[in-house]
Amino acid sequence: MTDALAALLRHPRLWRGGGLTQGLATVPTGFRRLDERLPGGGWPLAALTELLVPTAGIGEIRLLLPALCALAADRPEAPRWIAWLAPPHLPYAPALTAAGLDSSRMLVVRPQAGLDVLWAMEQALGSGACAAVLGWVEAADGTALRRLTLAAEEGGSPGFLFRPPRHRDEASPAALRLLLTAHADGLDVEILKCRGGMPARVDRLPVH
Amino acid sequence: MLVPRRAASAAGARELWLAAHFPRLPLEALLPAAASTRAAVAIEAGDPRRTIACCNERAARQGILPGMSLAGALALVPGLRAEERQPAAEAALLDRLARWALQFTPVVSLEPPAAVLAEVRGSLDLFGGAMSLCRRALAGLSGSGLGASLAIAPTPRAALWLARAGLGMTVTRSDALPGLAARLPLACLQWPPEAVATLSALGIRSVADVLRLPRAEFAARFGPALLDELDAGLGRRREPHRRHVIPERFDERLPLPCEATAAAGLVPAFERLLANLEAFLRARACGVPGMRLDLLHRARAPTRLRLGLARPSSDAVELRRLLRERLARCPLPAPVTALRLRTGMLLPQAPRDAALLERGRSADPEATARLLDRLRARLGRQAVFGVCPVPEHRPERAWQVAEPGGKAPLSASWPAAAAARPLWMLAEPQPFDDWAGVQVSGPERIESGWWDGHDVRRDYYVAWTRAGVRLWIFRERPPGGGWFLHGVFG
């Protein structure tokens, strides 16, 4: 019986949702409760993650920091950039160093025009030269997001896109979509969409 | 006897070497020829005794000799001009002299610190014989204000000896060399000072004296290298010399079949130029650190586009992508009639092996530099930067914009700030007055910078807003000053 089931499950025309997470490359977020909810146990590599943030500064960078440190230290013989595209403020080098990041690997890009942000993010994701790409994009339509997703897959870099929560109900090709809400005692993370997993909530993550 | 027993090749040596020795090169590299109206000396760089390395003719006439201390020389000539030697300038001048020597023969080699060698056997007929060639060379050199002594000999080493000894001779037969040795002082060998001191103590004054020493004992005492040099000078042994090659550059011009009014019309032409450039670079296993594309117009100055690369490249695909971005951003002031592509100096580049199977793109170590180039080509240099920490207590000065990938100047001994620092910094502190629901903890007092006019006296607090944002705010001291927002913990 079990053999028959196994044989059936191996049938090439049978598609199983859970199988998507197998072999999915991820990097642990550094927060155990969040890792348990995410398919593959962490931020997806070679994919786009969308973070919907109501106000810049509620803890979205500290949520990413453990993963950024792990990604930056991943390949010491060929160090790659951590790209910050159109950040709302300037990344503060002493704090980055204190957090364990090598500040010489930071690449800050502040283009004049909004369209250039999407272009630069696509270049950074597709180049394979970035350990992580963080982008703050105001307006991006489905086509632009699709391009970013493809670039992330091609370059093998994880992309983190920060957008306001009003885009919550728009369709998005991102592999993972999170809505962040801040509280005095932690960060609420609502998983709106994740490829190969179920929507879920993680309350009061201690990012402070 | 150091003289080889076997007779050296008889008349009509196969090679004839012209040696040009520049006794005052250290000085001439520093001062233009016009400055020779005053007594001037070059002193050894980094020498506490400030020994004089060489002096010009005027200084020599007033009794100054190389090897004197500067203090002694100043006692003789109070108005003496003294310059410290610059090895880089000397090397550059010698390089220019090698280029100049290439007009006589294609085989030229540098003999640092102050001589150039040229094999002129094949050029003698063209220049009307050895004497005429030497006259011509001397005229050219003195025209540019350089003092040189020239000599021609069948071996490069012997030519150097003769030139250094100041014997303006032309020796065409190898068997004449031993006979000249008596006229060559020991100094013209330019051997290490210890060897020269030992030989002088033995009462040896000339090369002829050296040649009379027994071979085996000489080699045992002074090492085989000096014996090899003697043999090379006498034509007993051949000595390799590195040939001087002028660095190549790529410079090609391509007229357009019809005038182009839009950047798109230039694409086929510059694709062709780039294909030529790639073939040129690949044949030489070199890359270029940058290039210039000139768009030539009919009746106005050309539009110049300059493209610098983060690391030398020979990849036509990459160069094409960069140039395209650059062209797309460049408005054409007038129709373009021709293109001209030029590179700077070529830099040797280890050829990358073509992978048999497609490798992951992320495995490419040049990808980081390429990304930087590509972003800068379109967004401009200022829009792409790195950050680095600076050892400084004042928060706004504890970091600076840096070249991406550059090493941080921060020393490891600089302690991290005791209190937490925000991940985001505002470009300028902003007045803060939105106190609704804000909780505050602190303060951390920072007082610094009274010595440079940017005095900072502040109490920093961490503030939680109702929206859940953690802010870094400060109040100027003494209290009563306003509150300012300086960072966001992110």
Model confidence pLDDT, tens digit, residues B344-368: 777 777 655 554 444 444 446 678 8
| Residue B178 amino acid letter | P
> Helix B224-233 vs helix B156-164: angle between axes, to the nearest 10 degrees?
90
Residue of B nearest to A46 (CA): B362
Chain B interface mutation, best of A61, A80, A92, A101, highest count of B Cβ atoms under 10 Å:
A92
Residue of B nearest to A104 (CA): B405
Which is higher by pLDDT, B431 or B33?
B431
> Does B428 have pLDDT greater than 70?
yes
Give the separation between CA A51 and CA B307, rounded to whole angstroms: 37
In this complex, is the C-beta atom of B489 within 8 Å of any C-beta atom belonging to chain A?
yes
Length of chain B, in residues: 490
In this complex, is the C-beta atom of B418 within 8 Å of any C-beta atom belonging to chain A?
no
User: Which pLDDT score, from 0 to 100, does residue B1 have?
Assistant: 42
Give the separation between CA B470 and CA B462, rounded to whole angstroms: 7
In this complex, is the C-beta atom of B424 within 8 Å of any C-beta atom belonging to chain A?
yes
| Contact (CB<8Å) B375/A123 | yes
| Contact (CB<8Å) B424/A91 | yes
Residue for token pair 């499950």? A9
| Contact (CB<8Å) A108/B387 | yes
> Does A194 have pLDDT greater than 80?
yes
Distance from CA of A185 to the nearest CA of B (A): 9
Sign of CA dihedral B305, B306, B310, B315: positive
Chain B partners within 8 Å of A95 (Cβ): 420-423
Distance from CA of A7 to the nearest CA of B (A): 34
**pTM exceeds 0.80, yes or no:** no
| Contact (CB<8Å) B488/A56 | yes
Which is higher by pLDDT, B350 or B321?
B321
Interval B324-337 mean pLDDT: 82
Closest CA to B286 of B322, B245, B243, B326: B245
Which B-chain residues 107-166 have CB contacts (< 8 A) with chain A? none
Contacts of B355 (CB under 8 A, 6+ apart): none
Residue of A nearest to B489 (CA): A57
Preceding omega of B113 cis (within 30 degrees of 0)? yes
Give the separation between CA A59 and CA A128, rounded to whole angstroms: 27
C-alpha torsion A69→A70→A74→A78, nearest 10: -10
Preceding omega of B247 cis (within 30 degrees of 0)? no
Contact in structure between A31 and A16 (CB atoms under 8 Å): no
In this complex, is the C-beta atom of B415 within 8 Å of any C-beta atom belonging to chain A?
no
Identify which of A27-31, B28-32, B416-420 has the greatest average pLDDT: A27-31
Closest CA to B78 of B59, B99, B97: B59
Burial group, residue B460, by CB count within 10 angstroms (0-12, 13-18, 19+): buried
| Contact (CB<8Å) B421/A95 | yes
Give the separation between CA A142 and CA A162, rounded to whole angstroms: 15
Query: Which residues, in sequence order, are bridge partners of residue B19?
Result: B117, B151
Give the separation between CA A164 and CA A167, rounded to whole angstroms: 6
Give the separation between CA A192 and CA A199, rounded to whole angstroms: 5
User: Which pLDDT score, from 0 to 100, does residue B2 have?
Assistant: 46
> Does B34 have pLDDT greater than 60?
no
Give the ranges where B165-206 is alpha helix by DSSP (H). Answer: 177-180, 193-201
Give the separation between CA B475 and CA B486, rounded to whole angstroms: 10
Give the separation between CA B116 and CA B113, rounded to whole angstroms: 9
| Contact (CB<8Å) B402/A104 | yes
Cβ atoms within 10 Å, residue B479: 7
Q: What angle do CA A183, A185, A191 make, to 5 degrees?
A: 55
Contact in structure between A96 and A128 (CB atoms under 8 Å): no
| Contact (CB<8Å) A89/B426 | yes
Residue for token pair 């630069």? A120
In this complex, is the C-beta atom of B32 within 8 Å of any C-beta atom belonging to chain A?
no
> Helix B130-143 vs helix B87-101: angle between axes, to the nearest 10 degrees?
140
CB pairs under 8 A between A and B: 178
Interval B368-396 mean pLDDT: 85
| Contact (CB<8Å) B383/A99 | no
| Contact (CB<8Å) A89/B375 | no
Chain A partners within 8 Å of B416 (Cβ): 94, 97-98
User: And the tokens for B455?
Assistant: 């005095």
Chain B partners within 8 Å of A110 (Cβ): 383
Using 50, 70 and 90 to split pLDDT, how confident is the model at A39? confident
| Contact (CB<8Å) A103/B384 | no
Q: Which range is least confidently modeled, A62-66, A151-155, B347-351, B403-407?
A: B347-351
Stated as kind and residue range, the H or E segment containing B429 is strand B424-431
User: And the tokens for A143?
Assistant: 């086509």
| Contact (CB<8Å) B490/A104 | no
Q: Which range is least confidently modeled, A93-97, B164-168, B274-278, B344-348?
A: B344-348
User: Which pLDDT score, from 0 to 100, does residue A18 have?
Assistant: 58
Distance from CA of B282 to the nearest CA of A (A): 23
Q: What angle do CA B390, B394, B398 make, to 5 degrees?
A: 20
Residue of A nearest to B465 (CA): A184
- Edge-to-edge strand order for the sheet containing B17-21? B108-111, B115-119, B17-21, B149-153
Long-range contacts, A21-26 (Cβ 8 Å, 24+) = A21/A196, A21/A197, A24/A196
Sign of CA dihedral A38, A43, A46, A47: positive
DSSP secondary structure letter of residue A15:
-
Chain B partners within 8 Å of A46 (Cβ): none
Contact in structure between B411 and B391 (CB atoms under 8 Å): yes
**Nearest neighbour of B388 by CB, restricted to A58, A95, A104:** A104
Distance from CA of A8 to the nearest CA of B (A): 34
